[in-house]
């Protein structure tokens, strides 16, 4: 199933999409697509209601596409998780996942404007597979247990300001948490629709120029390992989002790609999870 949230920021309408792309209003079931909805078997209840024909169709003409899950309690990120990305930045492949947190208010809709910070010199892009947690993950016994806590997947752009990240005291969070720095969506695709999260192609282009093209098969630590690993150090709760790392091709890497500038258009896509297109503005 594919879920979306449509409408003005702060007043998004939760919907489920059918195979033709028609949107069915979930407000008879829930006020939002959030942790409570996911933990309360919301996807199954939505499927049952759709089967009974009790959900009204929503006219989506002109509606903004919001992030597919409302503001999570945690936005956890994994750094240097693709071998080619580690190589292009001159970093040794990590022996354990590199973990950092990103402010949750960075999450915006997939097509919302990304704002360059006022003192930014090197704002960068990162296509990433985002995992949305559906059940509490606490001390998972094995990576195999992670499959049971995943609600679904989404496209994420982990926008980063490299000077803030690397030149301002070594705290990655400062370079990751500027406003609008995490476009998410367009859809939350339930886990049963993704047969293998380690076999997804990822792509990103700026102004039509391909920058990143990779595959989740090249992750150093796979999705299930990441969730198992995180659960040893923190409790992941329903609605939390985990960004799982980016492949090569970022401006910070060993290439001639420029950093983002006002007016740029960024297109980000992952196989089966949709495409987001956002413009770059100035804060």
Tokens 């490299």 appear where? 162
How much is the average pLDDT of 249-275? 95
Cα–Cα nearest to 225, from 92, 75, 99, 107: 99
User: What pLDDT does residue 168 have?
Assistant: 86
Specify the pLDDT at position 169: 82
Q: Using alpha carbons, list the distances in angstroms from residue 228 to 55, 78, 145, 232, 236.
A: 36, 13, 7, 7, 10
SS3 content of the chain, % helix, strand, coil (to 5): 20, 30, 50
Q: 89 falls in which pLDDT band (50, 70, 90)?
A: confident
- Model confidence at 88, pLDDT cuts 50, 70, 90, reads confident
Residues 36-51, mean pLDDT to the nearest whole number: 96
| Residues 88, 204: Cα–Cα separation, whole Å | 16
pLDDT digits (tens, 9 = 90+) for 171-192: 789 999 999 999 999 999 999 9
Positive/negative CA dihedral, 121, 127, 128, 132:
positive
The string of pLDDT tens digits covering residues 189-234 is 999 999 999 999 999 999 999 999 999 999 999 999 999 999 999 9
Integer Cα distance of 89 and 103 in angstroms = 24
Q: Do residues 211 and 47 touch, judged by C-beta distance below 8 A?
A: no
Question: pLDDT band for position 92 (50/70/90)?
Answer: confident
- In the predicted model, is pLDDT for residue 105 greater than 80? yes
Round the average pLDDT of the chain to a whole number and report it.
Answer: 96
- Contact assessment for residue 154 and residue 189, using Cβ atoms and an 8 Å cutoff: yes
In the numeric block, the tokens 């690993």 are attached to 229
Instruction: State the pLDDT confidence band at 2, using cuts at 50, 70 and 90.
Output: very high
pLDDT exceeds cutoff 80 at 152: yes
């Amino acid at each position: 199933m594919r879920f979306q949230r449509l409408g003005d920021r702060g007043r998004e309408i939760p919907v489920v999409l059918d195979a033709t792309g028609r949107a069915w209003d979930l407000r008879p079931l829930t006020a939002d697509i959030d942790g409570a909805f996911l933990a309360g078997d919301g996807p199954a209840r939505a499927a049952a209601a759709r089967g009974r024909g009790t959900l009204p169709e929503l006219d989506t003409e002109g509606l903004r596409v919001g992030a597919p899950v409302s503001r999570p309690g945690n936005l956890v990120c994994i750094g240097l998780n693709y071998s080619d990305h580690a190589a292009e930045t001159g970093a040794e492949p990590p022996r354990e996942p590199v973990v950092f947190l990103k402010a949750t208010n960075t999450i915006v809709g997939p097509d919302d404007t990304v704002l360059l910070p006022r003192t930014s010199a090197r704002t960068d892009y990162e296509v990433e597979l985002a995992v949305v947690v559906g059940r509490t993950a606490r001390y998972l016994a094995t990576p195999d247990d992670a499959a049971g806590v995943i609600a679904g997947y989404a496209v994420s752009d982990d926008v980063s300001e490299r000077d803030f990240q690397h030149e301002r005291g070594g705290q990655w969070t400062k370079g990751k948490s500027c406003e609008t720095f995490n476009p998410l969506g367009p859809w939350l695709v339930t886990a049963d629709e993704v047969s293998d999260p380690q076999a997804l192609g990822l792509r990103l282009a700026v102004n039509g120029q391909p920058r990143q093209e990779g595959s989740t098969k090249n992750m150093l630590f796979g999705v299930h390992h990441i969730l198992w690993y995180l659960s040893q150090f923190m409790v992941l709760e329903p609605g939390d989002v985990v960004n799982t790392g980016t492949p090569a091709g970022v401006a910070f890497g060993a290439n001639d790609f420029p950093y983002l500038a006002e007016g740029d258009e960024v297109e980000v896509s992952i196989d089966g999870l949709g495409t987001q297109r956002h413009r770059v503005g100035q804060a």
